[in-house]
Structure 1
C-alpha cells in the first residue's frame, strides 16, 4: 500500500480550498511539480467529484488528494430560518434586494460524496469539520486510499490517530478559510501552527502536517525542523495562474500589504478567516447569532454569487490566511521551484 512517504518527492501539500479555487489544472500542476495537489470537493456533487478527478488524471499521472467536509444534512426550523434571513437584510439592501431567497439545497449528501470519492480513487483523502466513523475509515483503507484528518487542538489529533488515520493535518489559527474544530468551541482553539505542532508532537505516532501561515520555503524548513513531516499551503496557491478564484479576488489578495484578515461566522455559520470587508462589517453585530453551517452558508450563497458576478469584493468571502501580504502572481511550476529551492537552502 502507498504510504505518506511515497506520495511525492517534496513534503508540500496544496491545501484544498472549496468554492472553485482548486481547479483540476491547479491540482495537476502541483502534483506534476513534485508536491501533492488537492481537490476541494465539499461543495461538489458526487458526479462532479468523479468528473473532476478524471480531468485531473488527464493532466497528470502523479498522486493527488480529494477533500470533503464531514457533515450531516441539517433539520430546518423554518421559523428560525426567517429570523436568520432578517439578519442578512442589511447586506440585501446593499445589493438592492427586497428579500433574501430561500435556498433549494442546504448541502451535499456526505455518504454519496464519500461513495464518489472512493470511486474516484485518489491516493489520499482528507477530511475536516468532524471525524469519520470506523466503518468509513475501513472502506477507504480497503480501497487503498490514505486518510488524513484535520485537527485544531490536541484532543482532535488524538481522536484521529486512535481511529486509524494515516496522518493528521494540524491547522493553526493563522490558516485561511474554514477551521476544522470538532471538539470544543471553535473560538477556544486558538493555538498558532507552531504552538499546536509542539503541543501534539509528544502524543503522536503518525505523521503530522503543519498548516497555517506557511508561505515560503523558509517557513517550510522551520516547520520541518520543529517536527512536521509535511506542510499544507493554501494562500500561497490562491494567486497562482492556475487558481480558479476570480481576478477581482486575486487582486485583493495581491494588494494586501499587511494582515487585514479576521475570522467570522457571518458567511457560513462556522468560523473562517478572510480579508475584512463590507460584508463582515455589516454583519459584525450579529455574527454570533447566525445559524450554524451549512444553513448560513446556503443562505449567503445567492449573495456571494451576485457579488462575484458584479466583481464586488466587498460582499464576497475573500478567504485567505494571515500570510496574505506575501502573496505573489506566479505559475504553480515557478512557485513550487521557489519553495523547494528555499526549503533546501534554509
Structure 2
C-alpha cells in the first residue's frame, strides 16, 4: 500500500547556489536525505512546474518546489497482539524493556512473533515509518531498553542522533574471568571470514568502540557496566571475546561454562542452565527527537541474570576471592 504526498515551498534567497537535494533536505527535514534523493531520481520533484531529476541541480532562490510522490508503506508484515513492557510512550516515541528471546525484526526463520509485529499491532500507523520505527536492535537473547520512533520526523531525528553518537546506551554483563579494572576496546568489527553469520575483529571492518568498567568481581567471573560509542552487530560480545573474557552463556562467542574449583552443585547448575548471553541494556539516554527534552530510561536486570549474579556472589563469599 502507498499514500500520495504533496510538499511545496518557495526556495528562500539565502539558499542561493545550493543543490536541489540539499535544499529539499533543509526545507523538508522530516524526510531523510536518501528518501529525498530517490524522489528526485524518480522524477517526483518539480521546479516551477518542470520535472528535475538531477540531485546536484543548483538553485537560485525564488523557485517554487513541488514534491508529488508516493510514500510506500515501509513494512510488509502482519500485526500481532504481543505484549510489550512499555517504559514510556507519547505521540512520537515509545521506549520498551525487551525481554530475552524476543526477536526485534523478522528475518530468516523468524517471520512472525517479533517486536516489529508487536509494534504494528500497538501502533498501526507505524507501518508508514521506515523499519516500523526501529532505529537500533538488540540481539534476540539480549534484554533491555530500546527506543522506537512512531513518526517519520521522530525516526529521522533519532537516526541522525544515533549517527552522531548523541544517544547514550549502557549495558550490564557478566563475563568469564576476573578483570582487574575497566578500559576501552577500540577494534573494528566485520563479518567473520569463513562463518558469515558471525562477526569478528577485522581491520577492514567498521570502527567499533566499547567502554567498560568493573561493577563486581567474583571468584572466576566479573560483572561489568559497558557503554557503547558505536553500535555494531554483536559488538559487546565480540569485544569481550577479544579480551579473552567472553560473556557467560554466549552460545556463539562464549565457549563452555567454567565453574571455579570447589563450586557447589547448585552453582554448576545455574551456570550450565544459563543458555543466553548474560547481557542486558540497562540504560538509554537521549534528547526527545521533537521537543528536545532530556529523556532517560533504566531497566533492572531480569530474573535470570539476578539469580546468576546472586549465585556468583554467594560462591565468592563462601570461598573468598583467592580460591578459584
TM-score range, shorter chain: under 0.3
Larger relative strand fraction: 2
Report which of the two structures shows the higher radius of gyration computed on alpha carbons: 2
Between the two structures, name the one with larger relative contact order (CA 8 Å, sep ≥ 6).
1
TM-score (normalizing by structure 2):
0.23
Larger relative helix fraction: 1
